[in-house]
A and B are shown apart, each in its own frame.
Chain A
């Protein structure tokens, strides 16, 4: 195993990978909870990448619909009412991204490869490594291996991981010290609310550095698609972060097509107070405007009569 170079180490830090690994290394229970097999890669790197994706996506959902959870507190915009995290919007967004969003694997893998190669080569000063800088070479190697394994093998790269790496990279551009923030698994989730908005702005405007980084690894005919994809993802993450925070999924049982209690989104919007089932109807009929319940072709348009007939 070669040593991990300075730039590569920066990459691991800036995308949150090393922070997440450190968190897992210090809390072995996270690794055990993930049900791991291979002692080295699996005990630390696998759970670390999961944590990285989860914390970053949760940081996004808390931004869209803040509540009183630790991600909302980390961004310093909270709300006493429940938020997207309470509604399990983060879990749903992760599932949608990874299990169902049918962006072809080859595409995601190409992007991930390009991204991880290129970001590590962008020489941005990072003098705030702090304790992360002193982390064992062995840990850095593990994370490096794990990420490279994803991008080289035929294994699917979870889209949530790619998005998390990108958001974290942008977060460290906005604020380098976010690598040491309140949520060690994610620089993005460690930003305050205004800085999250700046990172999202960079994503939506298809930040030139980022496009260049991604372009590096994309197969030829796809190159032009990258900035478009970023703009799409930049918008979609925000729309769906909000949307999925207001749906019933967190309390829904597909087998019985019913909810175990009122969805958070229903309470937040005073939707159908007291009900747990969608309504079959409402006493909302007022009547017909001016009492008119039918109309007909305007004779004028057929050219037969003057433009407005007198009734």
Chain B
């Protein structure tokens, strides 16, 4: 019997695993997707090779790329962007690590308290701050360096009268460089495009290559835990695997990839349901295994955690398992410039605005094909042809909609003369947006999930927030000097995923209590984005998931293993600490 089994090695799972390993627990971490151990050789940075959702090295599917991806039903125009594998969807991510808006937590007393989702986190912001600081020191999170696209974004933000935020917390509408989990450039990094001069240790941190989306391998020759982007495969996973080397009394985690968990095992004890282990299978051989543990932690993400819950037949007395899916109801506004913007270079996004009660904006740089995708993705039809009953007008040019083929080529004629702004709406937790079991035939793992977004019938607050932020985006781009501003009206691009197994203080519409333990199943915790109580007011979700996961690990140790809390009591070890680096190098990780 293990002490703890953690399901899923994405944004949240490895955090729990690493914290528990540092406290000497016997942890098994099971990951359904591949474990890339030599990304410098296994990844190519080419867009199709990396990102094709059906065959790419980043996809939601098994490690054997000739086998089909795992199909998820989305019965609306939308796109669900998940990645399986060690690192999970953080392999794609841009490392942006803003803290949540204080207004989404219980106890918030600000004058704008009424502007936020009424479904709050069941703890105060102040209580979470030490956990934020712990994770920020561990990843580590730093202030983003600036390239041309950021400089332009800041000019635009100043141009629409926003002040700059110089802290880690959001207290007013403002702009700032991202706080991100990208190591700051050092040595030759950021100063040359000559590959031979960009090898570690001559270069350290971010080299501005522009391929966050395709997986971070820079600087080449750096040990895995010193790669610039702190996706968990480069940060928490190496720490979890070397816990004995950097934590007194630590015990390395056992990590198994290609291991799909099909079922949570549980038993009745008196009137309670108690988790006791998992059944999983090897995706290469099909061989099934069971493994028991004193505590089980689900961290498969917002779509897979509800699915596994439902497929295991676990209780759902209030009907909230899978409900309340939030996705920041993104939109996309593109500025076309006469001047160079550097859009395809540097960190995917290093600048942002925050609007308490509304959401936020961030700049996003993309390589060509993703840029084309972003311009063909719309709920408003095709500009000048049809609008699906939408086609909004506003501070952008013309109506919302896809850029039609003949114009698309003109707009895309120089990818480095574009500046994209992602509109991040603070969207409400709504019961209608949810994960259910699909009626389509299942896969080897059982019934597949169906992700439903009623995006045309979202709450008035959500829709108004989106319009507010889209307007700010268009005005920012004009202030930055854009010659033309295009708004797409994206369908749901489901990648800032939150709150499908939400924690809350009201047992009528939450699945988890304030410690992230399931209300209806003892010894079962959730540590992915699914545990988040709401959409955080707009900030990117992973840092908050990781801060909560740290707190959840503490609660597990306190409640089931008789230990004491450590956050605030000891100094965290950074994932780029020398002891960790030494162990990563020695063990060929």
Binding site for B on A (CB under 8 A): 62-66, 77, 79, 81, 83, 92, 96, 100-104, 106-107, 193-194, 197-198, 200-201, 204-205, 221-222, 224-225, 227-229, 231-232, 234-236, 238-249, 252, 254, 257, 259, 265-266, 268-272, 278-290, 292-298, 300-303, 307
Q: Within 8 Å of chain A (Cβ to Cβ): is B54?
A: yes
Min CB distance B551 to A, Å, is 17
Contact in complex: B369, A247 (CB < 8 Å)? yes
Contact in complex: A288, B177 (CB < 8 Å)? yes
Contact in complex: B129, A297 (CB < 8 Å)? yes
Q: How many A-B residue pairs have C-beta atoms within 8 angstroms? Tell me.
A: 285
Residues of A within 8 A of B133 (CB): 297
Min CB distance B539 to A, Å, is 14
List the A residue with the shortest CB-CB distance to B450: A225
Min CB distance A243 to B, Å, is 4
Render B8-44 as a binary contact track against A, CB cut-off 8 A, 1 for contact.
Answer: 0000000000000000000000000000000000001
Residues of A within 8 A of B49 (CB): 248, 252, 254, 257
Contact in complex: B388, A81 (CB < 8 Å)? no
Min CB distance A276 to B, Å, is 11
List the B residue with the shortest CB-CB distance to A285: B190
Min CB distance A240 to B, Å, is 8
Cα A244 to Cα B167 in complex, Å, equals 42
Known contacts A66-B405, A252-B46, A288-B146; decide if A102 and B69 are in contact (CB<8 Å).
yes
Residue tally, chain B, CB below 8 Å to A = 101
Q: Within 8 Å of chain A (Cβ to Cβ): is B171?
A: yes
Residues of B within 8 A of A106 (CB): 441
Contact in complex: A281, B208 (CB < 8 Å)? yes
Contact in complex: B193, A225 (CB < 8 Å)? no
Cα A79 to Cα B405 in complex, Å, equals 10
| Contact of A283 (CB < 8 Å), options: B176, B192, B408 | B192
Stretch among B85-93, B245-253, B371-379 lining the A interface: B371-379
Cα A103 to Cα B193 in complex, Å, equals 43
| Contact of A241 (CB < 8 Å), options: B54, B218, B376 | B376
Contact in complex: B376, A247 (CB < 8 Å)? no
Binding site for A on B (CB under 8 A): 44-49, 52, 54-55, 68-71, 73-79, 102, 125-126, 129, 132-133, 142-143, 145-148, 150-151, 154, 164, 166-169, 171, 176-177, 179, 184-185, 189-193, 195, 198, 203, 207-211, 214, 218-220, 342, 344-346, 367-373, 375-378, 381-382, 385-386, 388, 402, 404-406, 408-409, 412-416, 438-441, 443, 450, 491
List the A residue with the shortest CB-CB distance to B44: A257
Contact in complex: B167, A64 (CB < 8 Å)? no
Contact in complex: B376, A238 (CB < 8 Å)? yes
Contact in complex: B373, A243 (CB < 8 Å)? yes
Cα A81 to Cα B185 in complex, Å, equals 38
Min CB distance A86 to B, Å, is 12
Contact in complex: A282, B440 (CB < 8 Å)? no
Main secondary structure on B side of the interface with A: loop
Known contacts A77-B406, A284-B148, A284-B345; decide if A64 and B382 are in contact (CB<8 Å).
no
List the A residue with the shortest CB-CB distance to B404: A197
Contact in complex: A284, B381 (CB < 8 Å)? no
Contact in complex: B373, A239 (CB < 8 Å)? yes
Contact in complex: B211, A100 (CB < 8 Å)? no
List the B residue with the shortest CB-CB distance to A234: B77
Closest 8 CB pairs of A and B: A228-B75, A285-B190, A281-B207, A235-B77, A298-B167, A247-B48, A242-B376, A221-B439
Known contacts A249-B48, A281-B209; decide if A268 and B386 are in contact (CB<8 Å).
no
Contact in complex: B368, A197 (CB < 8 Å)? no
| Contact of A271 (CB < 8 Å), options: B45, B148, B405, B415 | B415
Residues of B within 8 A of A231 (CB): 75-77
Residues of B within 8 A of A65 (CB): 372, 405, 408-409
Residues of B within 8 A of A62 (CB): 405
Residues of B within 8 A of A241 (CB): 376
Residues of B within 8 A of A229 (CB): 75
Cα A266 to Cα B166 in complex, Å, equals 38
Residues of A within 8 A of B203 (CB): 281
Cα A205 to Cα B390 in complex, Å, equals 12
